[in-house]
Structure 1
Amino acid sequence: MSELPWIDIASYVASSLVFVAFFMKAILPLRLMAIASNVAFIVYALGAGLVPILVLHLCLLPLNAWRILQHMAVVRRVRDAATGAPDIRKILPLMQMQTYGAGDVIFRKGDPGRSLRYLAEGRVRFDEVGVEIGEGTVFGEIALFLDTQSRTATATCLTDCTVYRLSKEKVIELTVLDPGFGLFLTRMVAERLQQNVEATRSA
């Protein structure tokens, strides 16, 4: 029995790797399997002289590698945010910056609450409860967990403010991407609730 040509072996390996990739549920293993299949197809295309397949996988290889680097960078930022004391500043690069002038309303009571905010600069007052917050404070996150998903108070800027916004869609995306963000968010909400309880007791 003659030995199977190495070109045929490469084609079977490449096809098998593509098949296995369809069973991957997590992003990183899927991309790694895709890279392995790209390499196998490149070897096969070189040996068989199949230029279209060669060009295709020469393009897909760096694309998959780039996506892995993007994924790992985001995961590192999120996992850093999930360790130690909750610190929203660690994910500011993932948030949208907004600026407001003194007297501007960030949101009103009853408005849809589809984002959490971080006050980087300035002071904000919640009119209905008479509470003021300063820079370094997270607010508006509780509405994400309410059935009505509506704001419970009106947030008015007492001074010029710089606010960072993270949409609910981005929250869900980051949570799906890495459970570490879910841990970060849970700890952040728990800390906020604890602060509210302590404020109520001291009032």
Structure 2
Amino acid sequence: MDVTQVHQAGTFFASIFVIATTTMRTMIPLRVFGIVVNVILITTSLISHTYPTLLLHAILLPLNVYRLHQMLQLVRDVKKSVNSDLSMEWLKPFMTERQCSAGEVLFYKNEKAEDMFYIVSGRYRLVESGIELPVGAIVGELGMLSPANERTQTLECIEAGTVLGVSYRQVEELYVQNPEFGFYFLKLASARLFQNIERLEQRLAEQSEPPPAAASAAPATV
């Protein structure tokens, strides 16, 4: 088989994989097939000395490998969060930074919810409940799952700091690209919802407890 035939055979097999990618709806198998196409065309381009094609796929190969690794890591991180501390730090690579000043309101109660936030630094308070959120907390994720997509409380910055934000649209895109991510995200959000309900019940129970009995009066001295 001469060089031309090798090149034609490689191009033929690569074309089959390219056609197969058009039938795929999720990102992980799409990236895998893309990597296979890159490897085939790099090999045949080396043999046939087709350097423009070689250069193109030499660039695309590490990009596809990186994106595949990123998506697989995302799924692993979400699974880990579901089974451990319910952290949403795995979303940080997809978030954008926002600086907040003291007194700034990030969102108001009953307004349309379109994004969620990860607290990096500073102090923030949910106004209606008076709850202060610690560094590392995620706020606003449950608005994505509510029927009306409305905020249930107002979030105010009480000490200047930084938050990371991600829109619901970006999260939805991640779900479309990888349904497994969406499944674990729903499990994680549901677990956090039940966790919040449990905390609220504990606070209500504490508030409903009767005040401690007054101390007994000291005996009168003779």
**Global fold match (TM > 0.5):** yes
- Paired amino acid for 2:100: Y
Q: 1:77 maps to what in 2?
A: 73
8 Å Cα contact 1:117/1:163 also seen in 2: yes
Instruction: Summarize the Cα distance change of 1:77–1:16 in structure 2 as closer, same or farther, 3 Å threshold.
Output: closer
Rounded Cα–Cα distance in structure 2 between residues aligned with 1:89 and 1:9: 48
Rounded Cα–Cα distance in structure 2 between residues aligned with 1:148 and 1:140: 13
Q: 1:12 maps to what in 2?
A: 9
- Paired amino acid for 2:156: T
Rounded Cα–Cα distance in structure 1 between residues aligned with 2:151 and 2:72: 32
8 Å Cα contact 1:123/1:134 also seen in 2: yes
Q: CA deviation at 1:74?
A: 1.2
Normalising by the residue count of structure 2, what TM-score does the alignment of the two structures yield? Answer: 0.74
Residue 156 (structure 2) pairs with residue 153 (structure 1): no
8 Å Cα contact 1:119/1:163 also seen in 2: yes
Q: CA deviation at 1:57?
A: 0.9
Q: CA deviation at 1:76?
A: 4.2
- Paired amino acid for 2:70: V
Instruction: Summarize the Cα distance change of 1:130–1:44 in structure 2 as closer, same or farther, 3 Å threshold.
Output: same
Rounded Cα–Cα distance in structure 1 between residues aligned with 2:122 and 2:3: 67
Aligned pairs (5 A) from 1:112-131: 112-131=112-131
Q: CA deviation at 1:39?
A: 2.7
Q: CA deviation at 1:100?
A: 1.0
SS in 1 for 2:9: helix
Rounded Cα–Cα distance in structure 1 between residues aligned with 2:36 and 2:163: 41
Aligned pairs (5 A) from 1:159-174: 159-174=159-174
**CA offsets 1:45-104 (integer angstroms, 9 cap, x no match):** 43xxxxxxx233122221221222321331243134121423222332321121212211
User: How many pairs align?
Assistant: 193
Normalising by the residue count of structure 1, what TM-score does the alignment of the two structures yield? Answer: 0.80
Instruction: Summarize the Cα distance change of 1:136–1:184 in structure 2 as closer, same or farther, 3 Å threshold.
Output: farther
Q: 1:49 maps to what in 2?
A: none
Instruction: Summarize the Cα distance change of 1:154–1:43 in structure 2 as closer, same or farther, 3 Å threshold.
Output: same
Q: In percent, how many aligned pairs have the same letter?
A: 20
Q: 2:51 maps to what in 1?
A: 55
Q: CA deviation at 1:179?
A: 4.0
Instruction: Summarize the Cα distance change of 1:105–1:37 in structure 2 as closer, same or farther, 3 Å threshold.
Output: same
SS in 1 for 2:20: coil
8 Å Cα contact 1:78/1:180 also seen in 2: no
Q: 2:63 maps to what in 1?
A: 67
Rounded Cα–Cα distance in structure 2 between residues aligned with 1:69 and 1:12: 24
